[in-house]
Amino acid sequence: MHSTQEGGKLLIVDDKKDNLLALNAVLKGEGYDLIEAGSGLEAISHIENHDFIAILLDVQMPVLNGFQTAELIRKSKKNSNTPIIFLTAIYRTESYEKKGYDAGAVDYIFKPFNPDILRAKISIFSKLHRQQKEIQMQAALVNERSVREKENALLKESLKARDQFLSMASHELKTPITPLNLQMQAFLQMIKDGTFQAADPERLERMLMTSYSQVERLSKTIDNLLDVSRFTTGQMELQRGEVKLDDLVRKILSSFAEQLKSVGCEVRLEVQDSVKGFWDSFRIEQVFINLLSNAMKYGAGKPIEVLVREKDNKAELLVKDQGIGIAKEDQARIFKRFERAVSPQFYAGLGLGLFIACEIMRLHHGTIDVESELGRGATFIVRLPME
């Protein structure tokens, strides 16, 4: 066992006992922990167990000479950068000195050596080693602190996002419930009063339609929330099949005819036939419905253009409105979760539609982009691979 000395650990390697003794005598009392090895192989056996400040290595040894030993030391995990001082009595030619340096040595001392010089050199290595350790420790501390700070910031951000989300989601879920409640109460009152039978059927239908649209809104919000959680947990899978984009767009537009009329949006449709691909039709419908709903919401009372075409070997779907538009600085973030560029006072919404559209496009290896200027309408462009 070697006790740990302040100056650090030194490995001295020489096949001659006398030389080891001499080195020991020179370095003893300097505060180093001296570990001796009588051969290159023995030196290697110590290499992964200690962190040496320097290694004094005799060049001429049987089996593994000093240079070969140094090469193995350089490949070790613990001491690959440890300074090696070659000690030699005879190889006093430049090429041998060069050989020592190639093997990674930092110094080369010829025997008989001057004890003061050897001690001075080792003392410098010891100081360097200590400084290196301190720097490594400081770097690890700084690194740990910055990792912790980043983790804290992320945690704070995600807590804030969660709170924001909960408040938006509850608001969004609550909004349709209030009118729904009122309609139900009105129905009940009519039944209690006995006025239900005599009520105008058109009025009853209107009341029911209002309730129905609130239920629709509720279920759409819940579907969106479920989709977001599926995307976030990576559980969304596509059900691919052949999809004709022109058919899909026509079908959705006809199912939205009433709604389009009620918000005063006339649709101008331009379609190229046989733009098709191997996609998930339900999800592509979802993307188109999101874009169309946004065009009706943010461009109410103005015409909407829908274009289906093949361009550069891609299927393209464009939805262009003449509504409020989107400022340049908001155009990237609106595709992210919960991001909105309008006040909830004027426009209801959770900021999930474009995020979901973006995720669906990602799964299809497609893209979704926006071209817009504030106050000058917006064009959303979906591009899908045709194969």
Contact residues toward ligand ADP (CB under 6 A) are: 290, 294-295, 298, 321, 323-326, 334, 340-342, 349-355, 378
Backbone φ/ψ region at 250: left (φ over 0), alpha (ψ -120 to 50), beta:
alpha
**In angstroms, what is the minimal distance from the CB of 76 to ligand ADP?**
56
**Nearer to ligand ADP (CB atom), residue 240 or residue 337:** 337
Nearest-angstrom CA–CA distance, 199 and 251? 36
Q: What are phi and psi of 266, to 5 degrees?
A: -90, 140
Nearest-angstrom CA–CA distance, 325 and 89? 85
CA-nearest of 92, 104, 24, 122 to 66 is: 104
Query: At 63, is the secondary structure helix, strand, or coil?
Result: coil
Signed CA dihedral, 134, 139, 145, 147: sign only: negative
Nearest-angstrom CA–CA distance, 112 and 134? 35
- The secondary structure of residue 244, as a DSSP letter, is E
**Nearer to ligand ADP (CB atom), residue 351 or residue 366:** 351
- Between the CA of residue 255 and those of 194, 207, 317, what are the distances in Å? 36, 21, 18
**Nearer to ligand ADP (CB atom), residue 85 or residue 354:** 354
**In angstroms, what is the minimal distance from the CB of 228 to ligand ADP?**
11
**In angstroms, what is the minimal distance from the CB of 224 to ligand ADP?**
8
Element (H, E) at 134: helix 115-193
**In angstroms, what is the minimal distance from the CB of 259 to ligand ADP?**
15
**Nearer to ligand ADP (CB atom), residue 27 or residue 334:** 334
**In angstroms, what is the minimal distance from the CB of 328 to ligand ADP?**
13
**Nearer to ligand ADP (CB atom), residue 126 or residue 214:** 214
**Nearer to ligand ADP (CB atom), residue 66 or residue 353:** 353
Which stretches does DSSP call E strand in 59-113? 84-88, 107-110
**In angstroms, what is the minimal distance from the CB of 308 to ligand ADP?**
18
Nearest-angstrom CA–CA distance, 366 and 279? 10
Nearest-angstrom CA–CA distance, 318 and 66? 74
**In angstroms, what is the minimal distance from the CB of 162 to ligand ADP?**
18
**Nearer to ligand ADP (CB atom), residue 108 or residue 355:** 355
